[in-house]
Structure formats: structure tokens, C-alpha cells
Amino acid sequence: MQQDPHTDTILIVDFGSQVTQLIARRVREAGVYCEIHPFSLAADRLEALRPKGIILSGGPASVIEKGAPQVDPRLLAQGVPVLGICYGQQAMCVALGGMVEPGTVREFGRAEVRIEKDCSLYDGVWELDHSYQVWMSHGDKVAAIPEGFEAVATSPGAPFAIIANEEKKFFGVQFHPEVYHTPDGAKLYANFVHAICGCAANWTMAAYRDQAIAAIREQVGDKKVICGLSGGVDSSVTAILIHEAIGDQLTCIFVDHGLMRRNEADEVVSMFRNQYNIPLVHVDAADTFIGELEGVVDPEAKRKIIGRLFIETFEKEAAKIGGVEFLAQGTLYPDVIESVSFTGGPSVTIKSHHNVGGLPERMNMKLVEPLRELFKDEVRALGRELGLPEHFVGRHPFPGPGLAIRLPGGVTREKLDILRQADAIYLDEIRKAGLYDTIWQAFAVLLPVQTVGVMGDGRTYEAVCALRAVTSVDGMTADFYPFDMSFLGRAATRIINEVKGINRVVYDVTSKPPGTIEWE
């Protein structure tokens, strides 16, 4: 029998850092379940979670300014280990009687910390009298540490780069161990959750699968569930997991809105009907969606139209099935975090094309969201655990509004056909070059711009196609993929030669900082 993966839990207190989610990723990569809660609500979750350790995140504020977020005293009175990260270190120091002041030397980016004393936080990772690369992001600094603490590592701009109270198992670091540019950061988190907090590595997808199936059966009982399939990994894993739990009590509704990539609608129908034998209603609603989107330019308006039409379609199909009490959807943990962020996270805007956060009251249905504790990479791992084919599990993310928001400007069938052809050629070239799994996401965009060109002996006046490809570990931040010119030349030549309506191709080399999206 699998052990409950929630037995050992770490509470992450969010003070507004753009990389708080990365802390959760590092903890879960160490095989330990964790939850993120905003600083204003975290202490209220103590009784329910009973965490074995607490991590205080970084944040953009200055702890010495009036009204800055503070550490709730209840968090420090639990008798469990606490690790403060950057702002979290400073806030912990202030709460325990230390002092923080503006730094004379600010540190942003790569820095070196020198290990001055032994410490259980980096035992087996860093050695005494050696220096190691970390990633700093601070202007203020700890000027005096609380009673019982000692400085165990320093940096040029932070005399208390790492502080420790080994008796209480309280630690503070001025840098960010969770980011890629602190090479040993994941090991520090593993030390904290395992050696210091005593957590077992029982957060596995095998254990989660068993727990989730039991939870679905308990929630649903003998009632009927409908699941809105989008064709993406999230909704597909949701459907297969629920079907494994309750069988034919589940009916999937695939709304073919006419905005998918080439052949994807046929692939979805074939996989669910033929491979998994899951009851599936295929609704061809392309005329309705495209008709309402035609002439709509604002991307947010497009999302809202698509979201409304999805809901209306689900209502009609649920009425035909009869007796449906639950709607399943593939809400992920980042959606949940953002929807309760103390800064008023962006999920309401980013996810406005579907039902993250709730349903219209008139639907009178309860939500089943079995993935709401998982990050994207964990969903893929669960998909593999459920036997989904690798080519599908590893599929690039594709937004719910589909090609509608990769068509800046009005949507028409002609533009969709042009974009589908260009997009398919681009992905084909990426696969031929063996780059598909290296790239996190790639797609084409048909820009609302036309240029004059010459093809053969004739002059053309046709559209510009933009190509986008990014690398990412987690989808929070991304950088453009550095294609060589020979690849771009091949892809552009094929698109211009094979797609009537495009006479110019450009490559987008912008990056994606935290909290932003492009054409998503």
C-alpha cells in the first residue's frame, strides 16, 4: 500500500517574490509535499497542514519600511525548523529582535559566499573556508542578528549571508537557493527538508495517483462527471485519471472550436475513443466560435468570448446527458497560487478563457480538480504513470484559446488555414532537427502586417509570419532558443514557398521575464 504523499509537509510563506514557485519546485523535487500560502494567511493554515518545516520566501518590499509584510509570530512558535530566504531572512531577524538596515553595497546577480563555520544547512554540500556561487537580489542587509544565531557565511555585500540557530533549527540565507544560478541550491533545500526537518521522500507520482483516485471516488460517489477536453496534456491527464477512478460515470466533451493546430482534433478523438475507450462527445462548434471571433481584435475580448462559448457548450451537452453533478477541469497549482496571491495575482487575466476559480452559478455543478496540487512537470510525470504515450506527454504547452491569440487582429478561416500551415511546417522542421524536446514551447504567429515582396517575376503583398521558440525549466521564465541561421533559413524558405499568403518570416528573440506572457 502506498504511503500518503501528504504525510510530511513543508509550508512556504509567500512574501511576494517572483520565484516563490521555484522554492516549491525544489522542495517537491526532493520528494516532499509543500504548499504556498501568502504571508497574511499562512499562519491560519498551520492546524490543517501541520508542517514539519516552514520556508519564508523572498519579496520585493523593504522590511524596514512602514507597512512592509511581517512574519506572523505563530509561524515561529511551532517548534519546527524555519528557513528564511532573502526578504524572509530579514523579516525573521526583525521578528526575533535583530536589525536590518539599508545596505551600502547592493548585490544583484551572481555573488560569492564564503563558508566561515560548519552548519547543518550545507553539511555535505559546502566545505569550510571555501567560496561558492549564489544568486543575490537585495538592497537592505541584516545589521544585527537575533540572540542565539551566528553568522556562518559571508559575502562582500552581506556580512550575514547565512545565519543559523542550530538549537532552534532556524536558518536564514540572503541569497536565492531556488534559482538556476545558485548551482547547489537544490541540495541546500534537500538538506533542509530531509536532514533538518526529517521529512521522508514520499511525494511520488505513484503515491499521488493512488491518493487522487481514492479522493475522486470519495468526492464523486456514484454521480456523473463531465470533463471538458481541450486536447492538451492537463485536461487529458485529468480525464484519464478520473476515468480510472470512476469508469463510465465520466463523459468527456471535446469542443472542437476550429482553433487547434493541424490534425490535433482528429488525434484527440482517436486517442480517447480508440485507445482509452472513454465516453466522448465530439462537438463541432467551429462555425460558432469563429463567427463570434470574426472582427474582434482585443486579445482579452477573444479569451472571454471563447470562455463563454465553452461554458455554454458544456451546459447544452450536460443537459443532454442528464443528471450531471460534477465538472472536471485541469487546474494546476500555479493557477491556484496566483488566484490567492496577496498581490492579486495575474491568473484572473491569464486564465480568463476557462474556469479557473469557479463556474457560473447557473451551471449548478461542483468542480473536480485532481491536478490542482501539481506543477506542469508533475502533470507530465503523472501522465507517464497513467500510461499516456510519450509523444503526447511531452507535447509543448498550447493555450486554451488556441490559434485565436496567435492571430493578432481579427480571426477568419482563411487566416487560420494560413497559420496552421506555417505552424505545422515550423514544428516539422524542429522535429527533423531533433530539437523538439530541447525547446519548451514553439509556435508561429500570423502578424496583422503585410509587406511588399517579389516572388519569381511577380510582386506580392502578403502577410508576415513570426516564429517563436523558447527554453524554460518551469514556464515561469523563458529565453529564446538560439537557432542557427541554417535552420531559420530552411524553415523560412519552406513557409514562404509552401504557404500562400506569407511572403516574409521573422524570428522573435525576446525573453520572458517572470510574470509575463507573449501570445499566450
Cell numbers for 263 = 490534425
Q: Is residue 34 among the annotated active site residues? A: no
Is 341 labeled as ligand-binding?
no
Q: 79: closest CA among 35, 109, 46, 101?
A: 46
C-alpha distances in angstroms, 15 versus 155, 258, 348, 381? 23, 42, 20, 29
Tell me the backbone φ, ψ of residue 366, rounded to 5 degrees: -100, 145
Q: How far apart are CA 312 and CA 443, in angstroms?
A: 29
Q: Which residues contact 518 (CB under 8 A, 6 or more apart)?
A: 468, 508, 510, 512
C-alpha distances in angstroms, 40 versus 14, 91, 97, 373, 406? 9, 13, 21, 21, 38
Is 103 labeled as ligand-binding?
no
| Long-range contacts (CB closer than 8 Å, 24 or more residues apart) made by 495-500 | 495/421, 495/422, 495/425, 495/426, 495/444, 495/465, 496/455, 498/421, 498/425, 499/418, 499/421, 499/422, 499/425, 499/465, 500/418
Is 352 labeled as ligand-binding?
no
Q: String of b and e for 313-343 (b: at least 16 CB within 10 Å)? A: bbbebbeeeeebebbbbbbbbbbbbbbebbe
Q: Is residue 176 among the annotated active site residues? A: yes
Cell numbers for 214 = 481514492
Is 230 labeled as ligand-binding?
yes
Residue tagged active-site, from 86, 197, 227, 465: 86
Classify residue 72 as exposed, middle or buried by CB count within 10 Å of its CB (0-12, 13-18, 19+): middle
Residue tagged active-site, from 37, 138, 176, 396: 176
Cell numbers for 351 = 486564465
Residue tagged active-site, from 178, 338, 385, 462: 178
Residue 86: left (phi > 0), alpha (psi -120 to 50), or beta? Answer: left
Give residue 400's identity as a one-letter amino acid code. G
Is 233 labeled as ligand-binding?
yes
Tell me the backbone φ, ψ of residue 256, rounded to 5 degrees: -85, 95
Q: How far apart are CA 260 and CA 416, in angstroms?
A: 9
Strand 99-115 relative to strand 150-155, pairing:
antiparallel
Q: Is residue 178 among the annotated active site residues? A: yes
CB 435 within 8 A of CB 441: no
Query: In 10 A of CB 255, how many CB atoms?
Result: 25
| Element at 205 (helix H, strand E) | helix 205-220
C-alpha distances in angstroms, 431 versus 20, 233, 437, 442, 503? 33, 19, 9, 11, 23
Residues with catalytic annotation? 86, 176, 178
Annotated binding site for ATP: 230-236
Annotated binding site: 230-236
